[in-house]
Structure 1
Amino acid sequence: MKLTEAQNKTLDNSEKEKQKLENKTIALWIAALRFTDNTTMHGLRYVFRSDSNIMRRLIWFCFILGGMSYCIYIMCRSVNDYFEYPTVMRSKTKYEPSSVFPAVIICSYNIYQKSSLTPKEERLLESMFNNYGSKTFDKEINVTDYEYLDGMEFMKRTSFKTVPDWCLFHSRECRSEIMGTAVTDMGICIRIGANASSTLEQTAIGVTKLRMRPSVSFYPTRKGLGEGLDVGLEQNESEWTVGPYMYYSGFRVSIDPADSHITTLRHRGFSLLPGDITDAVLSRKETTLLPPPYGQCGEVKLANYDRYTRRGCLNECEANYTIKQCGCRYYYHPGNEKTCNYAQVFVCLQEIMKLYENQSKDIFSFSECNCPQECFYIEYKVSVTNTKRSPQYTSRFKFVGGLDLSKGTALRLYYPNLEYTVVTEEAVYSFEKLMCDIGGAGGLFLGCSFATLFEFCDFSFDIFWIWLFRKMQQRQRKNSISVNS
């Protein structure tokens, strides 16, 4: 059969296209050999060298395969260790020439002052607290008669007026600027250290004064006993009344940072016993924690405080529970909601005790509050020692500064030294260490580095374009044959 000129031309073109495709295949193989010869991954070129015998190439292939497998295992284990986010706590002791004093809150266990109560109000307190442990109440009380008793106003009027018989700081009389009051669940209490804008300092040499922030000036003072805070207190037993802490005698003391949101003392602090001298030795610890994913610290938005603290968050959580159960908040809770009057407190207290008695799921628990620990906070640890006064001294000096030594108590709070502890949570396995471990495994078993990854990416890019070009050539050839035929 004789072919036409057009058919001959088509066949020639097909042969040319076929030759081009074969050339591309050869180019692909050449590119692969060039890559294996020049890559920084050691040993790979020995697998593809044509001048090596098959046994040698097989040994090199097994060696590279084993190294690659173990390298991948090490890398996977390193990545797994990194995503477990392990941490370690590091502690060190620092010395400073001055040490800021904490806020000291002192409350009387006898919350209500007898002389400030009417007989009707005494009857209410007896009904509320006489049978406190048995969860029973006086059924004859008409609670509506006490709706006029606003919680805050009642507490301001009747709370025990604790006034120190003396207050010395560095053996000098406490200034009025550092003396204040604090509203707590134990009534209106003494607060020494004033508020968040003023602090006391105990320093290395000299005298002490109140330091107002943000000023950094101060007069130094010495450390040790006699250089801290010395307070004398006496509880007037004739003013004793029924209350939630009536089975205790003396005072409750809480030691906290000056800017803490402290309103509840029932689970905090230590006691001052009548007739005792209490030495409280201070130590300060500053803790810095890591936020997620390494740690659990953080903060949430608080409705009643500008700055987040866990204590402030717990205060709000307890207040929200009280508002939910009682329709009002207790006088020491933060917020703008209506303060409970004592008729509401009386009724609500019974309802809450019924929940405890029935072990209801609605019982309040601080553990259910979403209040993470701050990422930075200061703690004051107190080592307390109680000492009885000498009978001979007491008989000779019955009163000191107006204080009856047989009934009064004294608190001496001081730093034994001007050191403090800094605790920092640190990540054990950082991202930089992960990269070093992965790079070390790749370098040890395969002799490759991070640059080798780019070599493989570059080679893959070349292979992709050669393959794509071949596919396009095949499609064009098929289209040209179908058109000509």
Structure 2
Amino acid sequence: MVEGTELGDFLQTYTFDYHSIKTMDTSSPFFPLLSNHTMTDIFTTYGHQLEQTVEFAIFGKTRALDRDTYFSTKITDFGLCTVFNDAESGNPPLLIKRPGALSGLQLRLNVEAAEYFWSPSFRPSSGFQIVIYEYGSQPLIEDQGFGIAPGTHSHIGVEVIEALNQEPPYGLCHDKQLKYFDRYGYAECYLECMGNFSVNACGCSGCGVFNVSDAQECTLWETFTCTSGSFADFVENETCDCPVACRVLTYQPSISTTKYPTTTWAEYYQSISLN
């Protein structure tokens, strides 16, 4: 965790753009500060915290969920995320016994729009990026997620599709052996590929993939001066050897929204906030 406000002051006053990043060198007054912190420091200290993001959660219409038991935070390719039913938490998974809204998960989330800070390289929108993925697998939030707008009551139905692919000579699937994961999947393979690229290009592992590499996580200095630029090269030129998995489980969301809250609920929220 970052102590004090020095890094926070830097984040509030410095404008992140590719031109200023490319012109950085060790004579920069920010060099000592950025050489001693990582993106993990920024996310864990200044990112949206679990206790503020998840205001309440209900499972199966009647069961109120304890945040610390059923939710956790995880640094991903999209930054700091809140995870429900995380296999890595050590808690047994919650299982839906039958389809329908009465059996599912209900959340009230706080977007904390006032906590956003501006940068020309960051997203211009507010809301939540959601991804539904198989228990025990790894998510790719940037590629596989969908957006939920603030100020809405969103209803999300999920269709589960299981594909069993054939190995050669009947098909092309192959469950490749990975170094940092026990199971094979495209997301796991892609994360390893991205982590290896970062290590080869910069000598350190980028945030969100540092747990799939033997190298240490890049400092902020290395992030701004190397990995930020090399990531564009990775996206445009790198071809990851990630064959089709022999078993693929996908979740197709169906989303509908209504305005939230109603006038009467808005008045109620205002009354309790004033008391």
- 1:286 aligned partner: 162
Structure 1 residue 288 displacement after superposition? 0.6
Larger radius of gyration: 1
Q: Residue 399 and residue 316 in structure 1: after superposition, are their counterparts in 2 closer, same or farther (change >3 A)?
A: farther
CA contact 1:300–1:308 (8 Å) conserved in 2: yes
Distance 2:208 2:239 in 1: 21
Deviations 1:343-367 (A, max 9, x none): 01111156337xx5xxxxx543597
Does the Cα contact within 8 Å between 1:165 and 1:401 map onto a contact in 2? no
Please give the residue correspondences for 1:153-302 in structure 2 after superposition, counting only pairs within 5 Å.
153-162=41-50, 163-171=53-61, 172-175=63-66, 176-195=68-87, 198-204=92-98, 223-242=99-118, 244-262=121-139, 264-302=140-178
Is 1:371 matched up with 2:262? no
Q: Does 1:316 align with 2:210?
A: no
Q: Letter of the aligned partner of 1:327 in structure 2?
A: G
C-alpha deviations, 1:191-233, integer Å up to 9, x for none? 11121663221114xxxxxxxxxxxxxxxxxx32232000101
What are the residue-to-residue correspondences of 1:81-160 with 2, within 5 Å? 117-124=7-14, 126=15, 128=16, 131=17, 135-137=18-20, 139=23, 142=28, 144-145=31-32, 146-160=34-48
**Root-mean-square deviation over aligned CA pairs:** 2.7
Q: TM-score, normalising length from structure 2? A: 0.82
Per-residue displacement from partner, 1:348-401 (whole Å, max 9, x unpaired)? 156337xx5xxxxx5435971111121112111101112113643344333699
Q: Which of residues 198, 207, 215 is equivalent to 1:337?
A: 215
Distance in 1 separating the partners of 2:271 and 2:179: 47
Residues 351, 381 of structure 1: CA spacing in aligned structure 2 closer, same or farther, 3 A cutoff? closer
How far residue 291 of structure 1 moved from its aligned partner, in angstroms, is 0.3
Separation of aligned partners in 2, 1:265 and 1:350: 18
Aligned length, in residue pairs:
255
Give me the identity figure in percent: 20
What per-residue deviation string (whole Å, max 9, x for no partner) do you get for residues 253-283 of structure 1?
A: 1100111112x41122211211111110011
Unaligned runs of 5+ in 2: none
2:226 corresponds to which letter in structure 1?
A: C
Which one has the bigger helix percentage?
A: 1
Counterpart-to-counterpart distance in 2, 1:400 and 1:336: 53
Amino acid corresponding to residue 137 of structure 1 in structure 2: S
* Aligned partners of 1:285 and 1:379 also within 8 Å: yes
Amino acid in structure 1 at the alignment position of 2:71: M
> Do 1:166 and 1:401's aligned partners in 2 also have CA atoms closer than 8 Å?
no
TM-score (normalised: structure 1)? 0.48
For 1:460, the equivalent position in structure 2 comes to none
